[in-house]
Amino acid sequence: MTELRIEGLTKSYGPHTPPVLGGLDLTVPDGALAAVLGPSGCGKTTLLRIIAGFLRADAGSVTVGGRVLTGPGVHLPPERRRIGIVPQEGALFPHLSVARNVAFGLTGLDRTARRHRTDDMLELVGLAGYGDRMPHELSGGQQQRIALARALAPRPALVLLDEPFNALDSALRAGVRADVRTALRLSGATAVLVTHDQQEALSTADLVAVVRNGRVAQCDTPQQVYRRPADPWVAGFIGDAVLLPAAARNGDRANTALGTVPLVTDAGAGRSTGTGTVLLRPEQLELTEPTCAAVHGTVTDVRFYGHDAMVTVAVEGLEHPVDIRAAGSLAVEPGERTGIRVKGEAVLHP
């Protein structure tokens, strides 16, 4: 078992500075990939460095598979933690071949066992036969996959990925992310991906932990974090959000400037009451003919992305316009009047 458990982790960089981590708790189940997501300065990198053993925590504990790595009176050095690290831009040793890079951490094995393990890792990341090449002969995406193979080769209890796709262009990034995710799943490794890219976290991870001011504001599956954010801040940070003042009615509906909206009433959400803020996603709003809708607005901007378009509409009674995600073939222009219809359920935050 390689479950990662972090409890009450705190860290500050001086007696007169606010803590970077303020009692952070996080659990990553055995074999899962968790993305730690948050704005700059929220504590992501500090968390990663404490898990790896490069920094000492002021308080709290880090355990992997029940083995205490950091805790009261305990601080195992990095080389004893059985943690593999995939840094930004791969950081391969330029003077070593691909095979020697992958085999770098394989100590205590004879030459034949090292070669077999190296070949297995290269096959796992889809680069079998590349062992004799030098790092400068590889593309950026191939270098990242070799860095992952090097991290996995010693069979670590945990793999840490520190924004490993930042240096890749957007066309390459999605493919390399998918390759890395597949390799991690095939290896059965528990992994933590630190990123500031919401799309990357949602599309890659089994769990998304949103960090705010040194604490986990919400940790759940990507679907739940997106559809059922813990509060309006998380909603606005994870993707595009339409936030509307609202008043709940009968516990299952809310009155808003976009009309009466059905509310989530599942067991986890409970029954909503009182006033608050309703969360909708832009894809839950639909443009209609003005004559067919009770709510109308004026198009102020259209941003075309090919597969879809983001249409900004000013609505009477709302201080800020709303964004609506529509089909890319939609033909509307700024200045036109349009109807708006809400689809699906919303979440009311008191």
Among 164-173, 175-184, 338-347, name the one with the lowest average pLDDT.
Answer: 164-173
47: amino acid identity, one letter? L
Please compute, for residue 89, the number of CA atoms within 13 A of its CA located in the half-sphere on the CB side: 5
* Tally of domains in the chain: 2
- Does 153 share its domain with 258? no
- Count CB neighbours of 37 within 10 A: 27
70: amino acid identity, one letter? T
Region of residue 274 (left: phi > 0; alpha: psi -120 to 50; beta: else): left
- Does 166 share its domain with 306? no
For residues 217 and 234, give the distance between their C-alpha atoms in angstroms, rounded to a whole number: 8
Nearest one of 165, 193, 237 to 84, comparing CA atoms: 193
Nearest one of 350, 323, 344, 346 to 228, comparing CA atoms: 346
Asked if residue 209 is part of any domain, the answer here is yes
- Does 341 share its domain with 206? no
109-132 residue pLDDT tens: 899 999 999 999 999 888 999 999
Asked if residue 112 is part of any domain, the answer here is yes
- Does 118 share its domain with 200? yes
Tokens of 68: 């205490």
- Does 30 share its domain with 179? yes
74-108 residue pLDDT tens: 999 999 999 999 987 778 999 999 999 999 989 88
Tokens of 14: 């001086």
- Does 203 share its domain with 311? no
Strands 33-37 and 207-212: parallel
Among residues 183, 200, 227, the one where a domain terminates is 227
For residues 34 and 174, give the distance between their C-alpha atoms in angstroms, rounded to a whole number: 17
Angle made by CA atoms 237, 204, 302, in degrees to the nearest 5? 50
Nearest one of 66, 2, 77, 76 to 32, comparing CA atoms: 2
Among residues 180, 206, 227, the one where a domain terminates is 227
- Does 35 share its domain with 70? yes
Residue pair 52/85 in contact (Cβ under 8 Å)? The answer is yes
Share of the chain above pLDDT 70, in %: 97
Asked if residue 320 is part of any domain, the answer here is yes
For residues 313 and 33, give the distance between their C-alpha atoms in angstroms, rounded to a whole number: 38
- Does 213 share its domain with 74? yes
177 versus 59: the higher-pLDDT residue is 59
Tokens of 252: 């299952």
Asked if residue 232 is part of any domain, the answer here is no
Nearest one of 62, 226, 296 to 160, comparing CA atoms: 62
Please compute, for residue 149, the number of CA atoms within 13 A of its CA located in the half-sphere on the CB side: 29
For residues 329 and 309, give the distance between their C-alpha atoms in angstroms, rounded to a whole number: 8
Asked if residue 115 is part of any domain, the answer here is yes
- Does 122 share its domain with 248? no
Segments forming the whole domain that contains residue 213? 4-227
Among residues 197, 227, 257, the one where a domain terminates is 227
pLDDT at site 266: 61
**At 281, which CATH number?**
2.40.50.140
Asked if residue 284 is part of any domain, the answer here is yes
Residue pair 250/210 in contact (Cβ under 8 Å)? The answer is no
Asked if residue 233 is part of any domain, the answer here is no
pLDDT at site 307: 85
**At 19, which CATH number?**
3.40.50.300
pLDDT at site 177: 87
Instruction: Report the pLDDT averaged over residues 259-268.
Output: 77
- Does 130 share its domain with 204? yes
Share of the chain above pLDDT 90, in %: 68
Pinpoint the alpha helices (H) of 125-169. Answer: 140-152
**Residue the block writes with tokens 């799309």:** 199
Residue pair 249/236 in contact (Cβ under 8 Å)? The answer is no
- Does 52 share its domain with 147? yes
pLDDT at site 137: 94
For residues 338 and 336, give the distance between their C-alpha atoms in angstroms, rounded to a whole number: 6
User: What integer best gives the mean pLDDT of the chain?
Assistant: 90
- Does 132 share its domain with 265? no
Asked if residue 64 is part of any domain, the answer here is yes
